[in-house]
A and B are shown apart, each in its own frame.
Chain A
Amino acid sequence: DQQVKQNSPSLSVQEGRISILNCDYTNSMFDYFLWYKKYPAEGPTFLISISSIKDKNEDGRFTVFLNKSAKHLSLHIVPSQPGDSAVYFCAASAPGTGNQFYFGTGTSLTVIP
C-alpha cells in the first residue's frame, strides 16, 4: 500500500523560476514530513521538514507547505538552480513508530540553464 504518493515522476523548470513538487498521503496519523534530495549513486540528503502543527516551513530557497485537510504537501524551490536537478522524495511518519518513514516514489527535477 502506497501511503505516500508523488504523482509526477518528472518536472522540468527554467533556471530562476519556481519549482513546485507535490506529495499526497493517505494516512491521517502522519504527523511529521520530510523532503529529501537524491543524486545518483548517493544516499538521500535531508532538505526540509514540517510538523503537522505547522502549515509552512521555510529554509532559504526551500519552502514546504502542508495542507492537512487535503493530506497534501508541496515543496517550493525559488529560484531554481541547475544544481537543484535531482530526484526529490517526500516522506512521512506517524507518532509512536520510532521515526519509521514512508517514502513516495520520487519526482525527478531538471532545472534547465
Chain B
Amino acid sequence: DTGVSQNPRHKITKRGQNVTFRCDPISEHNRLYWYRQTLGQGPEFLTYFQNEAQLEKSRLLSDRFSAERPKGSFSTLEIQRTEQGDSAMYLCASSWGDSTNYGYTFGSGTRLTVV
C-alpha cells in the first residue's frame, strides 16, 4: 500500500452538475478525513469517519455536500448542484486510531473546477 489514493486528480464540471470523488485510505487506517483547500488558504476540515461511522459532519459546507464510507474502506464525497464557489482542492487523509503518531497521511487531492 503506497499511501492515500484519490480519484480523479482533476475534475471540470458545469455549474449545477453533481460530482463524486473517491478516496482510498491506507489499508490499516480506520479513520478517514475530508478537507477542502481553496487558493491561498490552508486545508479546511469537512468531515471524518471511524470505520464506516461518520462521527462529525457538522462542518460540511452545506447540505449539498455528503460523504459515505459504506464498508469502512474507501470513501466518496459528493457535491450536488455544484456552484462556482465549490472550485477547490478536495483532500482526503487517513490515520490509525486517535493518535496522530500513527500516520495522519494526506492524499494528493482532487482539484475541482466548476465552470
- Chain B residue contacts of A100, Cβ below 8 A: 33, 45, 48, 56, 59
Give 12 new A-B contacts, CB below 8 A, not counting A100-B59, A103-B35. A6-B42, A34-B104, A42-B108, A43-B6, A43-B91, A46-B103, A46-B106, A89-B43, A91-B42, A99-B100, A101-B104, A103-B44
Q: Are A99 and B31 in contact (CB under 8 A)?
A: yes
Question: What does the 1/0 interface line of B72-115 toward A look like (CB < 8 Å)?
Answer: 00000000000000000001010100101101111111000000
Q: Flag if A44 contacts B106 (CB, 8 Å).
A: yes
User: Please, could you name 11 A-B residue pairs with CB atoms under 8 Å apart, sorted by A?
Assistant: A4-B42, A36-B106, A46-B103, A46-B105, A98-B48, A98-B98, A99-B100, A99-B104, A101-B43, A101-B45, A103-B43
Tell me which residues from 63 to 113 in chain A have a Cβ below 8 Å from any Cβ of chain B: 89, 91, 93, 97-106
Contacts A4-B42, A103-B42, A105-B40: A43 and B109 contacting too (C-beta < 8 A)?
yes
Asked whether B106 lies within 8 Å of A43 as measured between CB atoms, the reply is yes
Chain A residues within 8 Å of B, Cβ to Cβ? 4, 6, 32, 34, 36, 41-46, 49, 89, 91, 93, 97-106
Counting from the closest, the 10 A-B pairs by CB-CB distance are A103-B42, A43-B106, A43-B108, A100-B45, A44-B106, A103-B43, A89-B42, A43-B107, A43-B109, A104-B42
| B residues at A contact (CB < 8 Å) | 4, 6, 31, 33, 35, 40-45, 48, 50, 55-56, 59, 91, 93, 95, 98, 100-101, 103-109
